[in-house]
Structure 1
Amino acid sequence: MAGKPGVWIFGYGSLIWKVDFPVVDRVPGLIRGFVRRFWQGSHDHRGVPGAPGRVVTLIPLDEWKEMKDEHRAAEDCVTWGMAYRLPEDQVDQVLAHLRHREKDGYTEHLVDIFQHQADTEPIIFKAICFIGTTKNSSFHGYKPLNELAQQIATARGPSGPNDEYLLNLAHAMHELAPEAVDHHLYELEARVLSLRRTNESGSADAACPAAAAASISSLS
């Protein structure tokens, strides 16, 4: 099998739901040999220097096996995402745009993409994938899930709140590959949603005494 021709980009984070470049084809699929983790610091999009957010990167399995992590399921050892074929006459422009977008620690790597988990032959060979390796200066690594969720729930940067990034990614993955197992992503989603509900409930409770005082004042 020759695979689909052309220059392809594989997105596993915001590139799944924020496609701000021209494409001529898109194919959902998975790559092997990595796990997706919110272990990359974001100082320019979902956080700022001194108060960074957290975004996803890919950890090679051989490195991940030596790291601390709450999740060790074998099903986590594939990463689902979306592949995009670039217009032949705009490859250089799109890559320049993506290199700027991914400048906070990400570098280009080549990955093979499979269409189904049971496939033995890739559907796309040597797609370009932006990965923040464990050696890049913005790699922050493991943090306990409760602390990681709290950081994501509160961080904000020029591109918006950090929890928006997480929830958009989780929503996209639920739709893109409902059969996919990603304990790390979906447990963070649940924890951040719980923090949101707690914060909203606290805000509502704080507003009630003020509303009651205003009502009493109007009667006096």
Structure 2
Amino acid sequence: MHGSLWVFGYGSLIWDPGFPVAEQRIGRVAGWHRSFCMRSIHHRGTAVNPGLVLALDRADGASCQGIAFRVVPGAEAEALAGLRERELVSSAYLETVLRVETEAGPVEALTYVIDPDHVQYCGRLDLDEQARIIARAHGGRGPNRDYLWATAAHLAELGISDPDLEWLARRVRSLC
């Protein structure tokens, strides 16, 4: 990757990037959708009681809206090291570069997508099962429900609609 380092956030990176941000743009990636398709055994659950975290899951005709962040120049190496420590903790994510379409033009952004062959992949869970898991799980970074609620709230603040996430947020509130 030459020039600026861009990172695409679609889950917790939206509200907690963990690196200094020089610029941010709402953007969309094609061919992927935001999904609670990864069992969390570290941050939002445990090996005994896994939670669920968001990942980008490949799907024909799908798209995902999120935030493209440009890392402050000079902070790229530190940002990349921090992202890898956070996102690659169990190797369920694959580090890739995706084209993100923004109103100011496209950018190539570092993105973490799910490895569908990884043992933590669970892309076939229905929404109600996801809600039950999220309502009870707790990991090193806190309750799974807080992760869901923070992501849903920040997407709403940005004007990004995600009907499945909105339904899950309401359903988990009713379960807690």
Query: Normalised by the size of structure 1, how large is the TM-score?
Result: 0.73
> Cα distance, 1:87 vs. partner?
2.3
Distance 2:125 2:159 in 1: 26
Which has a greater percent of helix?
Answer: 1
Q: After TM superposition, list the pairs within 5 Å mapping 1:18-97 onto structure 2.
A: 18-62=16-60, 77-97=62-82
Distance 1:128 1:138 in 2: 21
SS class of match (2:122) = coil
Q: After TM superposition, list the pairs within 5 Å mapping 1:27-176 onto structure 2.
A: 27-62=25-60, 77-103=62-88, 104=90, 105-115=92-102, 123-176=105-158
Segments of 4+ in structure 1 off by > 4 A? none
Distance 1:92 1:139 in 2: 29
Could you tell which deviates more after superposition, 163-172 or 24-33?
A: 24-33
SS class of match (2:121) = coil
Higher radius of gyration, 1 or 2: 1
Distance 1:57 1:51 in 2: 19
C-alpha RMSD of the superposition: 1.7
Task: Name the aligned partner's letter for residue 93 of structure 2.
Answer: Y
Distance 1:136 1:91 in 2: 28
Task: Name the aligned partner's letter for residue 47 of structure 2.
Answer: P
Any conservation in 2 of the 1:163–1:192 contact (CA below 8 Å)? yes
Q: Deviations over 1:96-142 (max 9, x none)?
A: 110110123112111111225xxxxx723321101122122321222
Which has a greater percent of strand?
Answer: 2
Distance 2:40 2:26 in 1: 26
> Cα distance, 1:92 vs. partner?
1.4
Any conservation in 2 of the 1:170–1:189 contact (CA below 8 Å)? yes
Q: Deviations over 1:12-66 (max 9, x none)?
A: 010001122112111122211111110111111000112111011111114xxxx
Unaligned runs of 5+ in 2: none
Task: Give the aligned partner of residue 184 of structure 1.
Answer: 164
Task: Give the aligned partner of residue 193 of structure 1.
Answer: 173
Task: Name the aligned partner's letter for residue 123 of structure 1.
Answer: G
Q: Deviations over 1:167-210 (max 9, x none)?
A: 111001111124x3x222111112111112xxxxxxxxxxxxxx
The count of aligned residue pairs is 172
Task: Give the aligned partner of residue 204 of structure 1.
Answer: none
Unaligned runs of 5+ in 1: 63-73, 117-121, 197-220
Any conservation in 1 of the 2:18–2:79 contact (CA below 8 Å)? no
Task: Name the aligned partner's letter for residue 135 of structure 1.
Answer: D
Any conservation in 1 of the 2:18–2:82 contact (CA below 8 Å)? no
Task: Name the aligned partner's letter for residue 109 of structure 1.
Answer: T
